Amino acid sequence: MEQMDYYTDVEPFSRNEQNRDGCRPGKLKTDRGMKAEDRNRHKLSAPVAYSLLGLSILLSAAALCVAVILLAQMGEMKRSDADFRVESSQWMSNVTGNVEKATSSLSDVQAEIALLGERVYSCPDEWTKFKLRCYNFSSSSANWVEAQRSCASADAHLVVINNAEEQSFLKKHVDVSWWVGLSDSASEGDWRWVDGTDYYSSVKFWAHGQPNSYKATDEDCAVVLTDGLWHDWPCSSRRTIICEKPAQ
């Protein structure tokens, strides 16, 4: 009876109760199942990993090939650009050389035309030819107005100086003072050439401090003195006459 009471006092084991280790009986089976699934999952992921590694290697190789091709193309472009620059430089050099030759040839042609013109055109007797102009160096003298009238009677005008070469030519032929066709008698300070040449844009050979209307006198006409330079001078003074006109 005591033995029966002992078993009677023991409560039956319930499936929902935990054992002494704190685990349910059914729990052990479940954990073993999960570990098996993990092992299967690892077995399946290995081929995938190898596939991804292979794909990565292929992509890297492809990227390397593309980089090599691009570098080769860039090198070719640089060589082409260098060749283009060399060819452009040679072309420009050739063009420049041709332009220089053409300019030189044009200058030669112009010089020949001028020389031919000098040979064809002539001046009347007692007139001296220089370039395409005729000059008459008179031995007589007159005031500026009379000198201009004398030249006009010969279908000419008082000499007009257009450049340094002409100035030097005249200076060599005259060793006395002589009139030039320049005056400001119409308006003080407004100097004008008798043939209409623009005074302000033309060359000038005034002596230092000239023109100055010395001591407030009326010095309205230009004269070349023995120093070869221009001075303003009273128009009533008498000076040598040099007339000028085109060669024909």
Residue-wise pLDDT for 174-210, tens only, equals 989 999 999 999 999 999 999 999 999 999 999 999 9
Task: Give me the pLDDT at residue 117, please.
Answer: 58
Verify that 116 and 146 share a domain, yes or no: no
* Distance from C-alpha of 218 to C-alpha of 103, rounded to nearest angstrom: 50
Per-residue pLDDT, averaged over 73-87, amounts to 71
Inside any domain, residue 164: yes
Verify that 166 and 209 share a domain, yes or no: yes
Q: Residue 215: phi, psi to the nearest 5?
A: 50, 35
The domain boundary, picked from 101, 120, 139, lies at 120
Inside any domain, residue 11: no
Verify that 58 and 82 share a domain, yes or no: yes
pTM over 0.85: no
Query: What percent of the chain stands above pLDDT 70?
Result: 69
Q: How confident is the model at residue 91 (pLDDT cuts 50, 70, 90)?
A: confident
Domain count across the chain:
2
Inside any domain, residue 10: no
Verify that 138 and 94 share a domain, yes or no: no
Inside any domain, residue 6: no
Q: Are 204 and 191 in contact (CB under 8 A)?
A: no
Inside any domain, residue 203: yes
On the question of pLDDT at 27 being above 50, the answer is no
* Distance from C-alpha of 94 to C-alpha of 88, rounded to nearest angstrom: 10
Verify that 88 and 163 share a domain, yes or no: no
Instruction: State the average pLDDT for the chain.
Output: 79
Verify that 108 and 136 share a domain, yes or no: no
Verify that 42 and 134 share a domain, yes or no: no
Verify that 199 and 133 share a domain, yes or no: yes
- The residue segments making up the domain with residue 45 are 21-120
Residue-wise pLDDT for 138-167, tens only, equals 999 999 999 999 999 999 999 999 999 999
Q: Are 91 and 97 in contact (CB under 8 A)?
A: no
Inside any domain, residue 182: yes
Amino acid at 66: V
On the question of pLDDT at 11 being above 60, the answer is no
The domain boundary, picked from 87, 120, 153, lies at 120
Verify that 183 and 146 share a domain, yes or no: yes
3-state secondary structure of 156: coil
Indicate which CATH number applies to the domain containing 225: 3.10.100.10
| Complete DSSP assignment for 161-214 | --SHHHHHHHHHH--S-EEEEEE-SSSTT--EETT---TTTS---BPTT-S--G
The domain boundary, picked from 76, 97, 120, lies at 120
Inside any domain, residue 16: no
Inside any domain, residue 82: yes
Verify that 202 and 234 share a domain, yes or no: yes
Verify that 74 and 43 share a domain, yes or no: yes
Verify that 100 and 173 share a domain, yes or no: no
On the question of pLDDT at 47 being above 60, the answer is yes
Q: Which residues contact 181 (CB under 8 A, 6 or more apart)?
A: 148, 151, 157, 158, 159, 160, 193, 194, 195, 244
